[in-house]
Structure 1
Amino acid sequence: MRPLPRLARLTAAALFLLPLAGTPVAAATRQDGQIWVNLNAQGGLAGRLIYYAELQPRFVDGGARIGQVIARGALGWKLTPRISLYQGYAHVAHPDDALVRDVNEERSFQQLSWDLGRVLGGRLSSRTRFEQRLRSDGRDVALRLREFLRYTHRIGPDPQGVAALVSVEPMLALTSADWGPRAGFDQLRTNVGLEIPLTGRTTIEVGYLNQLVNRRAGQREINHIGQVLLALRP
């Protein structure tokens, strides 16, 4: 697949340019240190029918309190050994605090997952997700498109050993909504870390995630996130 090396170079360029994109005027930027924990399970059910489920608590204000909890699940169909199509649903809870009280978000989404194969000695994969978002403090449905690219490369000679990983996920709001989102650039997430094999195909990932969020009135939010992900693959 000849275009893939170019795609890898574009991903690397996005990672390199992220610090430049994330340094606006200090008065217009809010920063926070956070911890995200992701517990997920994925596998086959029968034939080409597959599933995915995750629980993700996010700790904000320097990791001092839970700011958000996401419960997400999806059923999928393997179109080919490398391409899968999913229909999913997510419930996003915002625990009470001084700014947000009893606010929940509901998301329906469609997802195309694609294993793009080997690139420069590693492995590249893509996840395209289209979300329909509704929040309890608004009436409008917000549409958002997300494109996630992930690249892994084994560190040593063991093909089943520890791998270095990088990922980038830009998000585009396709519509505006009365509860907050504005059409246009929504956010950019960039992650670097390690994928560590456990037993069978189960892995744990640890790394640093930089999240650049576009808020109202030109405000930006930059979150520096320590991320831990346990992926169960029975």
Structure 2
Amino acid sequence: MTIMSGRFLLSSLAAALAASPAVAQTSHDEGVWINGTVMGKVDGPIVFFAEVQPRITEGVSRMTQLLLRPAVGYAVSKDLTVYQGYARVIDPIEGGADLHEDRLFQQVTWNVGTIGKLEVQSRTRFEQRWRSDGPGVSLRARQMMRAEYPLAPGTRRVAAVSSVEGFVGLKSARWGGVEGFDQLRTFVGLEIPLPGASTIEAGYLNQTRDAAGRRVNMTHVASVSVFIRL
């Protein structure tokens, strides 16, 4: 699994670099993404998470997307968990009917290990996507690598966090979706402990997306995520 995850990430990064030539025109936007996630055990190795995420973009002027994403998982070991989930994605349209997207997804989360004090995690996700404005199913794979570096001793400490996630479209549909490189998300910030085992992560997220006509859409995001662990 280490080799597969590494190859996927390297291919995503290579595609991102290839998709952003010097002559490409880049459009910029600013946004705020707020994520709330509740997670915990159901019974034995059965676990769950449920998240809600409003995304405010277009110069931080309005909510352009709302994600609702629950999943049920099975803890294969203390370091490896597999999930089956569903996502409802709502894109509000001013003066028209909202767009709705339904997703089924399968996910593998893996605590890879440590390199000195650096803690490394992997998240692999495969999505099947349907949308209200056209027929067909679009398929997409996502690979995220995440690293934490504690800034103080102990298990309940502030840590520096960074992550990179590559998105690759495997099949497009009549309503959209892509085949090949889709987008790259990078994040840098801090993880701050809350009461119990809960945490908050805050920082800067960069979303770089391929667009038609050799263009690149880049969104600069202030990202705040709260993880409530039951």
Superimposed CA distance per residue, residues 124-153 of structure 1 (whole angstroms, 9 cap, x where no aligned partner): 111100000011011110000000111001
Moved over 3 A (4+): 4-7, 16-27
Q: Report whether the alignment pairs 1:223 with 2:223.
A: no
Q: CA RMSD in A?
A: 2.9
Of the three residues 183, 188, 196, the one matched with 2:184 is 188
TM-score scaled by length of structure 1: 0.88
From 155, 161, 178, give the equivalent of 2:157.
161
Q: Give a deviation string over 1:153-195, Cα, whole Å, max 9, x none.
A: 1012343210000000001000122112120000000000000
Q: Which residue of 2 aligns with 1:74?
A: 71
- Extract unaligned runs of 5+ from structure 1: none
- Give aligned-pair identity as a percent: 40
Aligned to 2:60: 63
SS of 1:171 mapped into structure 2: strand
Whether contact under 8 Å (1:5, 1:120) holds in the other structure is no
Query: Is the CA contact 1:94–1:101 (under 8 Å) kept in the aligned structure 2?
Result: no
1:147 match: 143
Q: CA deviation at 1:20?
A: 6.8
Taking structure 1 as reference, are residues 196 and 131 closer, same or farther at Cα in structure 2, changes over 3 Å only? Answer: same
Q: Return the letter of the residue paired with 2:122.
A: S
Q: Which has the higher strand share?
A: 2
Unpaired runs of 5+ residues, structure 2, are none
Q: How far does residue 122 in structure 1 lie from its aligned partner after superposition? A: 1.8
Aligned AA for 2:36? Answer: L
- State the SS of the aligned residue for 2:176: coil
Change (3 A) 1:25 1:67: farther
Give the superposition deviation at 1:27: 6.8
| C-alpha distance in structure 1 between counterparts of 2:168 and 2:212, whole Å | 15
Q: Which residue of 2 aligns with 1:47?
A: 44
5 Å matches for 1:12-23? none
- Any idea what SS the aligned residue of 1:55 has? strand
Distance 1:182 1:56, change over 3 A: same
> CA shift at 1:216, angstroms?
2.8
Aligned residues: 228
Q: Distance in 2 between matches of 1:175 and 1:22?
A: 18
